[in-house]
Structure 1
Amino acid sequence: MFSTLRLVSSLLLGVAFLMVGVGGLSTILAFRMGEAGLPSTVVGVVTAMYFVGLVLGTGFCHRLITNVGHIRAFAALGSLMSAATLAHALTLDPWLWGTLRFIVGFTTVGMYMCTESWLNEKSSNEIRGQVFSLYQVVLYLAQGVGQFLINIPDQHGMVLYILTSILMSLAIMPVAMTRVSAPELPKPVRFRLGRLWNISPTGMTGSLAAGTAMGAFYGLGALFAQQAGLETHQTAQFMGAVILGGLLLQWPIGKLSDMIDRRLVIIGVSIATAAVCVAIMDKNVHNGSGLLALGALFGGLSFTLYPLAVAYMNDYVEADDLVPASGGLMMAYGIGAALGPVVGAMLMDAVGARGLFLFIGAVVILLAIFIAWRITQRRSLPVEEQGDYQTIQRTSPIVYEMYPESGGDDVDEDPEDDTRC
C-alpha cells in the first residue's frame, strides 16, 4: 500500500504542477485580453477554444498513447503545451491565441489520460476511493493556487508566460522519469447520446448546463472582475475564492443527495446558485470581502452540479455501462463548456460585466425548471437503490475508470463511434 501511495504521490505532484500552470494561464489570458481592450465576445471565442480542444482531443490522444506509449506521449504533449504557452508572448492576435488555446486544451486532455490511467492501474480496489478523492482535491487546490500567478510583476509581458511554461515542463518529470511499467490504456468506449438521453434526460441536461455555466465562468471570470473595477490582486482573490470554494460544499450537498431524491437537490442548488449570481451582480459588493464570500459560495454551489448529474445518471445505468455513460455526460459537459464563454461574452458586450452572472443565473434557472418538469414525468428512485455521490471534475474519460463504483473495469466498445467518450 505504501509503495502504491509513493507512486501516486509523484503522479499527483505532476498533476499539481500541470493544473497550477493550466489554471493560471486561463486567467492570465482573459486578463491580458481585457487589458488590451478586446471585445468580450472575442475573449469568449478565444477562451472557448480550450474546451473545444478538450472535447476533440480525446480520440486522437488515445491513439497517440496507444501507438507510442504513455511516457513518450506524455512528454510530447507536455512539450507541445509548454511551447504553445510561450507562443502567446509573440503577439496578441485573437486568431493565434484561439489556435493556441485549442492546442493547450488538446494536450491537456492527453496528459490527463496518461496520468489517470496510471493512477487507475496502480490503485487497488481497497484504496481506489481514497486515490480518487485525493486526485480531485489536488485538481481543485492546484487550480485555485494558479489564479494567484497574475499577482507576479510582469513589466515586459513575458514573465507569466515563462513561469506557466516552466510549471507545465515540470509536470512532465514525474512521469518521464518513472521506472514503473506503463499501464494498459482502457479501450475507447461509446455510449450513443440518444440512448443516454433516453436513460437520463436529467443527467444529460444537468451535465450540459453545468458545462455551460462553468465554461462561462472559467473563460470569463477574470474579465468580469476586471470590468467590474477590481484590481489585479482582487481578481486573483476572487477567482481563487470561487475555485477553492468549489470544495466547501461537496460533502454536505453530496451527502444530502444520497439521502433524498437527487433531483430535488439539483433544483435547490440551481436556485441557490442563481440567487448568488444576482448578489454578485450588485456593484455594492465589488469593493469588499463580501464579493470573496459570494464567490466562494458560488463555487461551493455551482461546482456540485456536474457531480450531481453524474451521480443521478449512475443510479439508472448498469454497472458495465457506468464508464461509457459517464463519458457521454463528459461530452455533454464539454459541448456546454465550449458554448458558455461565447454566449456569456455576447451578453457581457450587451449589458456589461454583470452579463456573465446574468447568463449563468439564467442557465441554472432553466435547469431547475426542466428538472422540476422531469419530476412530474418520472418517479424517484428509492433512496436505498441510489449510489454514492462522488466529487468529480471534467478531465478525461479515464477518470471514470477510477470512479469507486466502476470497480476499475475496462469496457470494450467500438472505438470508431463519433460519440467516443
Structure 2
Amino acid sequence: MAQTLASISALLLSVAMLVFGHGLQTTLLPLAAAKASFTNLEIGVVSSSYFFGMVLGCLAAPHVIMRAGHIRAYAAMVSLMSAAAIFHPILVDPFSWSLIRIISGFCLAAFYMVVESWLNERATNENRGTVMSIYIVILFGFMMIGQISISTMDITSFVPFAIASVAVSLAVMPVALTTTTQPAPIALVQFRPVKLYRNSPAALVGTLLVGVANGALWTLAPLYGSQIGFNSDQSAFYAAAIIGGGMLSQWPIGRVSDLIDRRLVLIGIGVSTALVALVIAFLSPTGFYVAAGLAVLIGICSQPGYAIAVAHAFDYADPEDFVETSSGLLLSFGIGSIIGPFTASILMNHTGPGGLYFMVAAAEIALAGFVLARLFARQALDPEEKYDFEYAATAQVGSVMSPEPLDVDADNVIPPEEFPAYEDPIYDPEAQEITEEVIIPEDEHRHGHRLAADTTEENENGEQATVEKREDS
C-alpha cells in the first residue's frame, strides 16, 4: 500500500491544488456576481453553465484523451481551466461568465477522467477501495478548504480570482514532471438511457432528481447566505457546511443501504431532505449558527442520494456494464444539475432566498414519490445478492471508476504510444523484448493488447505451426 501511495503521490497533490482552486471559484463566483449586480436568473444561468460544460466533457473528453494521451490532455485541460479562471474579473458580464463556466466544467470532467483512470490502474484489487477513498477525501476536503479560504480575501478585488488561477496552474506541475508511465487508453462507453432505465428506473430517475437538488445547493448556497444577510465570510462557511454534512453521512448511510432495500434509503433521503428544506424556507433563519447547523443537517440528508442511487444500479447491472452504468448515471446527474440552479434562481426571483429550498424540497418529494412507486413494481433483492456499498465507486466526480476493475499485468501490455503507425509489435513475456512485427488493421493497434504465450497447433495440412495468440487488454 505504501508503495502504491508513493507512486500516486504526485497525482494526489495535483488533485489537491486543482480542487482548491475549483472550490474557491464555486463560492466566489455567485458572491462576486451579486456584487456586480447580476440578477438571480443570470447567476442561475452562470451556475447551470458549469454543469452543461461538465456534461459536454463527459461526452467529448474521452476523445481528447485518446487523441493526445493522458499527460498532454491533462496539461492542456488544466492550463485552459486556469486561463478561464483569470478571465472572470476581466470580462464581467453574465454571457462571458457563462461561457467561461462551460469551459471550466468541460476541463474538470477531463481532469476527473484522467485522474481516476490513472488511480484505478495504479491500485490493485486489494487496495483499490482504500486508494479511491483517500482520493475522495482529498477531493472534497480541499474543495471545502477552497470554499472557506475566501474568508481571508476581498471578493471585490482581483486577488481571489488570481489565487484560484494560480492554484489550478500549479496542478499541472506534479503530473507533468512525474516519471511514472501513463495509463492505457480509457474505454469509450455509450450513454444508453433506455438500457439504464430498464436496468434500474429508480437509479436513473433518482440521479436526475438528486442532480436537480444538489446542483442548486452546491452553486447557489453562497448566494442564499448573502441574501439573508450574511457577509462573504459567513456565506462561504455556510456553503462549506453543506458539503461537510454530506461527508459525515456518506459512509454510514451507505452501509445501512447494504442491510435493507436501497430504495427505502432513497425514500428516506428524499423525505428528510424535503422536510429540512421546508423548515429552512419557512423559518428563514438569520442567525449564523442556526443557519449553519441547518446547512449541515441538509447536507447530511441530501448528499448521499447520488451514491445510494448508483449503488442500487450496480446491484442489478452485469459486472461488464459497471463502467457504462456509472458513466450514464453521472450524465443523468449532470443533466439534473443543469436544470437545478436555473430553476432555483427563477424561484428566488419570485419568492426570495427561500425559493432555493422550495425547489430542493420539490425535487426531493418527486424523488421519494417515484421511488415509492417502484417499490410496488419490483421485488427487493436479498442483502446477500447486493454488492457491498463502496463510496469510492459511487461518488459523483468522474466517469471511469468501476467497483471491481480488471487487474492488468502491466508487464504484458505494450503502451499504445510505442506502436508504429501500422505495425503492432509482438511481445514475448519470456524474453522481455519485441521479437517480431506484423501488420494489423489501423483500428486495432490503438487500443493496446495483452499477448498470450505462443502455442503450437496443427495447420490444415497436418503440419505443426506456431500460432501467436492475442487478447484485448
TM-score band by shorter chain is over 0.9
Structure 1, unmatched stretches of 5+, are 410-421
The 3-state SS of whatever aligns with 2:381 is coil
- Tell me the alpha carbon deviations over residues 376-416 of structure 1, each in whole angstroms, 9 at most, x when there is no partner: 11111111111112224322212x23x3x34468xxxxxxx
Q: Identify, as 1 or 2, the structure richer in helix.
A: 1
Structure 1 partner of 2:127: 127
Structure 2 partner of 1:62: 62
* 1:357-372 matches, cutoff 5 A: 357-372=357-372
Deviation (angstroms), 1:60: 2.7
Q: Give, in whole Å, the separation in 1 of the partners of 2:260 and 2:22.
A: 37
Structure 2 partner of 1:239: 239
TM-score by length of 1: 0.93
Structure 1 partner of 2:376: 376
Structure 1 partner of 2:154: 154
Report the residue type matching 1:102 in the other structure. Answer: I
Q: 392, 395, 399: which one pairs with 1:393?
A: 395
Structure 1 partner of 2:259: 259
TM-score by length of 2: 0.83
Deviation (angstroms), 1:156: 5.8
Stretch of structure 1 that moved more, 294-303 or 93-102: 294-303
* 1:15-414 matches, cutoff 5 A: 15-154=15-154, 157-283=157-283, 285-391=285-391, 392-398=394-400, 400-401=401-402, 403=403, 405-407=404-406
Q: Give, in whole Å, the separation in 1 of the partners of 2:288 and 2:343.
A: 29
The 3-state SS of whatever aligns with 2:179 is coil
Structure 1 partner of 2:12: 12
Q: Give, in whole Å, the separation in 1 of the partners of 2:165 and 2:323.
A: 33
Q: Give, in whole Å, the separation in 1 of the partners of 2:275 and 2:156.
A: 41
CA contact (8 A) 2:234 2:288 kept: no
Report the residue type matching 2:97 in the other structure. Answer: W
Q: Give, in whole Å, the separation in 1 of the partners of 2:334 and 2:23.
A: 17
Deviation (angstroms), 1:144: 1.0
CA contact (8 A) 1:202 1:309 kept: yes
Report the residue type matching 2:140 in the other structure. Answer: Y
Q: Give, in whole Å, the separation in 2 of the partners of 1:382 and 1:356.
A: 38
Deviation (angstroms), 1:61: 1.9
Report the residue type matching 1:258 in the other structure. Answer: D
Deviation (angstroms), 1:310: 0.2
- Tell me the alpha carbon deviations over residues 303-339 of structure 1, each in whole angstroms, 9 at most, x when there is no partner: 1000000000111111111110121111110100111
Q: Give, in whole Å, the separation in 2 of the partners of 1:280 and 1:339.
A: 21
Structure 2, unmatched stretches of 5+, are 409-473
Report the residue type matching 2:246 in the other structure. Answer: G
The 3-state SS of whatever aligns with 1:132 is helix
Q: Give, in whole Å, the separation in 2 of the partners of 1:407 and 1:240.
A: 36
The 3-state SS of whatever aligns with 1:315 is helix
Deviation (angstroms), 1:282: 4.3
Report the residue type matching 2:51 in the other structure. Answer: F
Deviation (angstroms), 1:359: 0.3
Deviation (angstroms), 1:296: 1.1
Number of residues of Structure 1 aligned to a counterpart in Structure 2: 406
Bigger Cα Rg: 2
Structure 1 partner of 2:415: none
CA contact (8 A) 1:149 1:160 kept: no
- Tell me the alpha carbon deviations over residues 107-161 of structure 1, each in whole angstroms, 9 at most, x when there is no partner: 1111111111111111111110101111111121111111113212337620001
1:349–1:160 Cα change, 3 Å = same
Deviation (angstroms), 1:12: 1.3
Deviation (angstroms), 1:53: 0.7
Report the residue type matching 1:396 in the other structure. Answer: G
Highest RCO, 1 vs 2 (Cα 8 Å, sep ≥ 6): 1
- Tell me the alpha carbon deviations over residues 224-273 of structure 1, each in whole angstroms, 9 at most, x when there is no partner: 11111111111111111111121111122111110011111111111111
Q: Give, in whole Å, the separation in 1 of the partners of 2:91 and 2:147.
A: 22
1:143–1:266 Cα change, 3 Å = same
Q: Give, in whole Å, the separation in 1 of the partners of 2:135 and 2:373.
A: 35
RMSD value, Cα? 1.5
1:367–1:155 Cα change, 3 Å = closer
Report the residue type matching 1:224 in the other structure. Answer: Y
Deviation (angstroms), 1:97: 0.4
CA contact (8 A) 1:140 1:246 kept: no
CA contact (8 A) 2:271 2:364 kept: yes
1:27–1:152 Cα change, 3 Å = same
